[in-house]
Amino acid sequence: MRSSSTSTAANRQQETYIRARDNPFFDGMRRGDAAVIDKGGNFTFNGKVTTGSITRTGSDLGSRRNRKIISEVLENPSSLLKSSPTDIILEPFGRSSSGRWSVISEATSSPISDHQSKFKFKIEEANESQKESPQKASQVNEDCRTIIGFSKPILEKSYSVNKRLTNLIKVPLPPSAALFYNGHSPKMEVVESCESIYRLNMYLRARKEDVNAGVPGRFLHAVIGPDICDVGSVASTIMYAFYLNELLKKEQFCTVPIINMKRADMDSHAELNWLLDSCHVDQSSLVFLDEIDLSYYDLFGSLKLVLLNCIKLPPKQEALKEALVEIFSCGKLDNAYPWVENATSAEEASCCTLIAENFLLTTPEILAGKGFSRLLLAGILLDTGNLTNPNSTSKDKYMATLLINGAGRFACNGLYHILRYKMYDVSELNVGEILRKDLKKWTRIGKFNGSNSRLTVSNFGMSSIGISVAQLLSLDLTSNVEIAHFQRLEKLSLLLVVSGYYDTDKNFKREILLSAESVELLKNLIQFIKSSVPDLPLKFLHHPDLRDEIKVFEIDRVTSRKTIERILEEYIEISK
């Protein structure tokens, strides 16, 4: 019994072991022609499969061919030199970037060579017909796609290596896996094509042409946000206008995003410039407030206004309130405009979250684009303080996770740090640009002037900066004069500069600079602050060479900008 079992085992070892997947039938399934083996003549002369078409993915094909080529080269290195360049093709079977069809050679083909040759014949015939007739070529190419098993046109991503517009080497990026393996070059970057951004740019370019032509015969459906243009408001304005344009499909509406600031003010917003450039959004196709006269369209009754990311119109646009048709905000709505029926409010901290949700419910495939998703993701991250804001909801976090492709190799934390760094990077800005970067203005209408019987009008402004007042004053030897010049340009009777920064010991500090048109007005404001908020410490900071109309104080670090803004609004109210 022992000798019999031994001989049986020896016979089994001498037999050739054949894996099931090496069977030509299974190999044919991977190459998409198992149906031909099984059914026989299922191909028509038109180049279409009638029944039983079995497809395979490009990754399966590419990986299998790569393994086979590598094994042949290792066994016989001289075969690599004997093979012609066309014999070794590592691209998936499909349309290449040059526009020609890739052909699987005999060296990498399956055992079913006769059917591979039929494929090759059809493809070469398609290329020849492409030279003869463009219409006929497109039809033949579509037939070839059907032969291979693709029911939709093949969309390929393209990549290019461009010179980096901005140097990110100074940004203290947090560690991430992508940066660890890939690193970041200060000079070059790999740019991926984005079909979603291409559609967005085409839309923006078309609407800019309509605005330049005066929007003849249609309503101007303008989407406008708050007058403080940060990343969240600009991103939501562009994206919601694009969403409405795709959703409504009304020829009588010309839906245009209006960036609520002057185009020249973009120079002081490094974070916006970097974001739009990194997303490859065409800034020349954007419409800024100084490039369109909304009151003209309102005068002739052709303006339909959509208020975004706020519940009340800015003071400059308050006269257009009768044209309001929609309010889209995350804040709690009041009854300031009762005639507006289409009003949306939510608990989310970012309007970009709601807009991303709308795209997800209507055209989810558009969110796959890297640049498209980065624009929305950046708005969510900055509106929610990198998802750490107490007002942020689970939907904000869910949408940020859904759009994580937009962060790229920086990851969400890295993208957030880049934007925050750009917001407070004032190395290339002058004093006026820093003050204009985050400026909010109020207008006070006083009593009649006895001499000419005109109402007295005063403007007040509050500017927020991310550096210390000492650093602001040290940027220029004439910073004292530059502040006064900025006030005259903006026609401000009083300017309040709020500074929030971290010192060398990583301690957060808060300072305010008060600049008035007269010493009397400055004293009145200081006295009002001390009387209205007695527990607010005002520690005087001495700076040489300052005018008498300028004073600098250090205040409690826990005092927020909102608190200071409320104090200023109360002073404006009682001084009427």
pLDDT tens figures, 278-299: 999 999 999 999 999 999 999 9
Most confident of 188-197, 215-224, 308-317, 438-447: 215-224
Query: What backbone phi and psi angles, to 5 degrees, belong to 242?
Result: -65, -40
Q: What percent of the chain has pLDDT above 90?
A: 36
Gap between the Cα atoms of 133 and 470, Å rounded: 72
Would you say residue 7 has pLDDT above 90?
Answer: no
pLDDT tens figures, 547-562: 899 999 999 877 888 8
Gap between the Cα atoms of 50 and 574, Å rounded: 83
Q: What is the structure's pLDDT at 157?
A: 63
Q: What is the structure's pLDDT at 89?
A: 37
pLDDT tens figures, 88-114: 333 343 344 444 343 333 333 333 344
pLDDT tens figures, 347-383: 888 999 999 999 999 999 999 999 999 999 999 999 9
Higher pLDDT, 209 or 99: 209
Q: What is the structure's pLDDT at 556?
A: 85
Candidates 117, 135, 115, 137; CA nearest to 127 is 137
Would you say residue 387 has pLDDT above 90?
Answer: yes
Two tokens, residue 528: 């009002």
pLDDT tens figures, 459-494: 899 998 888 999 899 887 788 889 989 999 989 999
Would you say residue 403 has pLDDT above 90?
Answer: yes
Q: What is the structure's pLDDT at 176?
A: 67
Residues 6 or more apart whose Cβ sits within 8 Å of residue 416: 381, 382, 386
Global pTM? 0.63
pLDDT tens figures, 320-352: 999 999 999 887 777 788 898 888 888 888 999
Residues 6 or more apart whose Cβ sits within 8 Å of residue 268: 429, 433, 434, 436, 437
Gap between the Cα atoms of 517 and 490, Å rounded: 12
Would you say residue 34 has pLDDT above 70?
Answer: no
Higher pLDDT, 149 or 437: 437
- How many Cα atoms occupy the beta-carbon half-sphere of 95 within 13 Å? 19
Residues 6 or more apart whose Cβ sits within 8 Å of residue 40: none
Parallel/antiparallel/unpaired status of strands 303-308 and 324-328 = parallel
Would you say residue 277 has pLDDT above 80?
Answer: yes
Q: What is the structure's pLDDT at 450?
A: 55
Averaged pLDDT, 41-62: 42
Q: What is the structure's pLDDT at 447?
A: 60
Higher pLDDT, 481 or 137: 481
Gap between the Cα atoms of 123 and 119, Å rounded: 6
pLDDT tens figures, 169-183: 667 677 666 665 555
Per-residue confidence at 167, pLDDT binned at 50, 70, 90? low
- How many Cα atoms occupy the beta-carbon half-sphere of 123 within 13 Å? 20
Higher pLDDT, 42 or 407: 407
> What is the average pLDDT value for the chain, to the nearest integer?
75
511 forms bridges with which residues in the sheet? 499, 554
